[in-house]
Amino acid sequence: MAMATEEGDPERGDINGGHSMESTESRWVFQGDEEDNSDIEEFNADLRHHHTRRYASVLDSDDEDIGEQRLIRTGPRIDSFDVEALDVPGAHRTDYEDISMGKKIVLAFQTLGVVFGDVGTSPLYTFSVMFRKAPINGDEDILGALSLVLYTLILIPLLKYVLVVLWANDDGEGGTFALYSLICRHAKVSLLPNQLPSDARISSFRLKVPSAELERSLKIKERLESSLTLKKILLILVLAGTSMVIANGVVTPAMSVLSSVGGLKVGVDAIEQDEVVMISVASLIILFSVQKYGTSKVGLLVGPALFIWFCSLAGIGIYNLLKYDTGVLKAFNPIHIYYFFKRNSTKAWYSLGGCLLCATGSEAMFADLCYFSVQSVQLSFVFLVLPCLVLGYLGQAAYLMENHADAGRAFFSSVPSGAFWPTFLIANIAALIASRTMTTATFSCIKQSTALGCFPRLKIVHTSRKFMGQIYIPVLNWFLLAVSLVLVCTISSIDEIGNAYGIAELGVMMMTTILVTLVMLLIWQIHIIIVLTFVVFFLGLELIFFSSVLGSVADGSWIILVLAVIMFFIMYVWNYGSKLKYETEVKQKLSMDLMRELGSNLGTIRAPGIGLLYNELVKGIPGVFGHFLTTLPAIHSMIIFVSIKYVPVSVVPQSERFLFRRVCPKSYHIFRCIARYGYKDVRKENHQTFEQLLIESLEKFIRREAQERSLESDGDEDSDSEEGHYDSRVLVAPNGSVYSLGVPLLAGHKDTKKLTLEASTSEEVTPALDAEQSLEWELSFIHKAKESGVVYLLGHGDIRARKDSWFIKKLVINYFYAFLRRNSRRGITTLTVPHSNLMQVGMTYMV
């Protein structure tokens, strides 16, 4: 069982024509017949780590030349990466653990400017859109509409998001992809191609396996893991939700800014709609231009502005309640919702799309969770945001009880004349902040999807040294600006934009409901009645709202649906192409037999230095390495296959960043390194820092390997002296049972071919040294190679569809995926490697 080398890679069947074997399968092997000494030593190390139970039985053979052998049934095949991952006792803590109450209050204040801007500006347009679809025919209509708004606020933002969904965060990260990664860690439903079992050993996984008594949870987990169709459906739901978040990032600025600037038509009679549009365009350009200055800086700046805005809402609401009609408090009785629908029927159903606008921004509370803590968001919403919103809507309704004609401009008409211009100013500032709220949520979702292999790589700028989640994506920022300007200039009607707003918001809300339901079943494991109540009630409620906005899709809101479909197509094509490319590289990887035939010189000249060959494979030798061997006149004395890999956790501790494995015998000086990052990790290190961390981790790996071999050799000597020809190891099984294994040591039974091969490949190695001298020699070899220089070997593997492929596949792979790949950033760009240290070779795979 090749553990020290990669000969025993379970995926070699793809090369040799055999079937591939899962790493968790048990196998029958002849001890001493198929293993070399290094393999036995590595396997013994695996035994110490995992206490794997083994069973022995005797196999009689008619071949006298073979000699006595014992057939061993091993336990699950343990990958050496998994063994190494178990050795690292890292512990991860979120950014917001153990912070003081004063800091929580500061964070709660910042949430006003970053998280609640969207939902906070909803009073600007909610009643206006509702009453344009269902005109006021009496005071009962106002009470019914107000009752709808109040209970929508209570049910969706408060009950669903603040009290339930916020707790389904992934180590402080929110959004659809955070939910997906959380589910992937508790059930093997991920379609990412390069996952390893050792990923689950990262301390920040904090995996909680479903308890045995909850049979329902286990059955659902097994069903999800065994069905490829369900895995694809889950991924499609996540991609659909993310595409709706991006669409939200477009329509929110358009709706908020246009409605706030529209207040000029109340204060200045001469203002026309075209002038409102021009001012809105200028405001949007300013908004997106300051996005690069970061969430923390802007949050501290606009936090006071939003605080004044919420206080203004509450103050104006109380003023109108006392001046006009306190009878609107009767709207807390939900019977008025029934009367509203009874009086207006179809019109009331259409007005649901406008009613939903009071809950827009609910998803932003969850998606922007990476910027703040759960407690800070909950405190702000329950004790400030919700009371102010309720008072604001009550005040507008009280004003409309005596001014039915002003329903189309409910908010600004209800503002007292003496406070109009200050309110107009603060309303426009709040609208700009609201636009920024959804933009930051979009940045967060795109970063998560990029890290999990579902979106092309883009340049990501981290705007805070303290909080890793605060980011800025320049390309996406200007893309959102461009589409928002198109939307404002082509659809200047608040009604049509509001309908588009509802479609985008409801799309992501429904995806979140489904994913949180899975979290309840798999992770929280709460009572089935509670789960069914949650999904039936909230999904049913959202479907009712969705049916209302779809009824008006032909009015212009179809543009948002088209944008969402385009973004979904981009994400799905990227995921499909990346998965296909990885699977092809797995099939094209080099066999270990070829490497042994080449010898330790690899059939060429070994020049001093270290070559870091970047590839996406986590097992096997990439085919592009053979291209380097045939293209270059020499190859470096030490080769490290580096795979930059994102795992479905938020942060990987620095001590667990690198995993190493020796590829081929020691004389080849070839290693594999997997550099693991979470989707919240910051990759800011320059290439010198990265190289230093990598070499230090390699030295630790070699020292640990030597220590394990020394322990193994000591154990062998003790067993030889006591048992003669038997190895009496004592194993402790997972159930606590102790087993004594008597396994014949066939030291004299060697494969002559392997002996010849070892002799041919060890001529360049130092003479027979003891373990300590051998360790020091290898470490010295690494230092000398490092002093000679580090070169980055980049293999650009592109894929093309075969000539006999379907037309659709050719179109997707040869044009769409190729276009996305050409215009996306490569992983190496974040290390700022000098061009003099780069060597690139391209390969094209036919798929």
CA triple 252-257-262, angle to 5 deg:
135
Whether the predicted pLDDT of 743 surpasses 70 = no
Residue type, 839: M
- What residues pair up with 428 in beta bridges, in sequence order? none
Query: What does the alpha-carbon distance between residue 482 and residue 478 come to, in Å, rounded to a whole number?
Result: 6
Token pair for residue 839? Answer: 């060597």
Whether the predicted pLDDT of 734 surpasses 80 = no
Query: What does the alpha-carbon distance between residue 520 and residue 514 come to, in Å, rounded to a whole number?
Result: 10
Of 683 and 479, which is predicted with more confidence?
Answer: 479
Which pLDDT band holds residue 491 (cuts at 50, 70, 90)? confident
Rg (CA), the chain: 32
- pLDDT average, residue stretch 538-551: 90
Token pair for residue 777? Answer: 């020699």
CB 237 within 8 A of CB 179: no
- The pTM score is 0.73
How many helices (H) and strands (E) the chain has is answered by 31, 13
Query: What does the alpha-carbon distance between residue 357 and residue 191 come to, in Å, rounded to a whole number?
Result: 35
Which pLDDT band holds residue 658 (cuts at 50, 70, 90)? confident
pLDDT, tens digit, 9 for 90 and up, residues 127-149: 988 998 888 888 899 999 999 99
Q: What is the pLDDT of residue 80?
A: 43
What is the DSSP secondary structure assignment for residue 417, as one 8-state letter? G
Query: What does the alpha-carbon distance between residue 711 and residue 719 come to, in Å, rounded to a whole number?
Result: 12
β-pairing, 28-30 with 738-744?
Answer: unpaired
Of 69 and 332, which is predicted with more confidence?
Answer: 332
- pLDDT average, residue stretch 790-818: 87
Query: What does the alpha-carbon distance between residue 224 and residue 218 come to, in Å, rounded to a whole number?
Result: 10
pLDDT, tens digit, 9 for 90 and up, residues 595-623: 888 888 888 888 899 999 888 777 778 88
Whether the predicted pLDDT of 424 surpasses 60 = yes
Query: What does the alpha-carbon distance between residue 775 and residue 783 come to, in Å, rounded to a whole number?
Result: 13
Helix, coil or strand: residue 708: helix
Neighbours of 55 (CB within 10 A): 12
Which pLDDT band holds residue 592 (cuts at 50, 70, 90)? confident
Alpha carbon distances (Å) from 198 to 82, 90, 201, 582, 608: 4, 14, 5, 19, 33
pLDDT, tens digit, 9 for 90 and up, residues 679-697: 667 666 677 888 888 888 8
pLDDT, tens digit, 9 for 90 and up, residues 34-45: 333 333 333 334
Q: CB neighbours of 248 closer than 8 A, spacing ≥ 6?
A: 363, 364, 438, 441, 442, 501, 504, 505, 508
Helix, coil or strand: residue 761: helix
Residue type, 189: V
Q: What is the pLDDT of residue 148?
A: 95
Q: CB neighbours of 40 closer than 8 A, spacing ≥ 6?
A: 31
Query: What does the alpha-carbon distance between residue 424 and residue 413 come to, in Å, rounded to a whole number?
Result: 11
Whether the predicted pLDDT of 375 surpasses 70 = yes
Whether the predicted pLDDT of 444 surpasses 50 = yes
Of 122 and 109, which is predicted with more confidence?
Answer: 122
pLDDT, tens digit, 9 for 90 and up, residues 258-309: 888 888 888 887 788 888 889 989 989 988 888 777 655 555 567 788 889 9
- What residues pair up with 56 in beta bridges, in sequence order? 72
Token pair for residue 765? Answer: 């190695």
Please give the mean pLDDT across all residues of the chain.
Answer: 75
Region of 99 on the Ramachandran plot (φ > 0 left; ψ -120 to 50 alpha; else beta): beta
pLDDT, tens digit, 9 for 90 and up, residues 62-119: 333 333 434 333 343 334 444 343 333 333 434 444 556 666 666 666 667 677 878 8
The sign one gets for the Cα dihedral 696, 701, 706, 707 is positive
Which pLDDT band holds residue 773 (cuts at 50, 70, 90)? confident
Of 603 and 214, which is predicted with more confidence?
Answer: 603
Whether the predicted pLDDT of 312 surpasses 90 = yes
pLDDT, tens digit, 9 for 90 and up, residues 341-352: 998 888 899 899
Q: How far apart are the first and last CA of the chain?
A: 32
Least confident stretch, 86-100, 154-168, 540-554? 86-100
Angle between the N-to-C axes of helices 101-114 and 295-323, in degrees from 0 to 180, rounded to the nearest 10: 80
Which residue ranges form the domains of the chain, and what is each CATH number?
A: 109-202+221-578 (1.20.1740.10), 591-710+773-846 (no CATH)
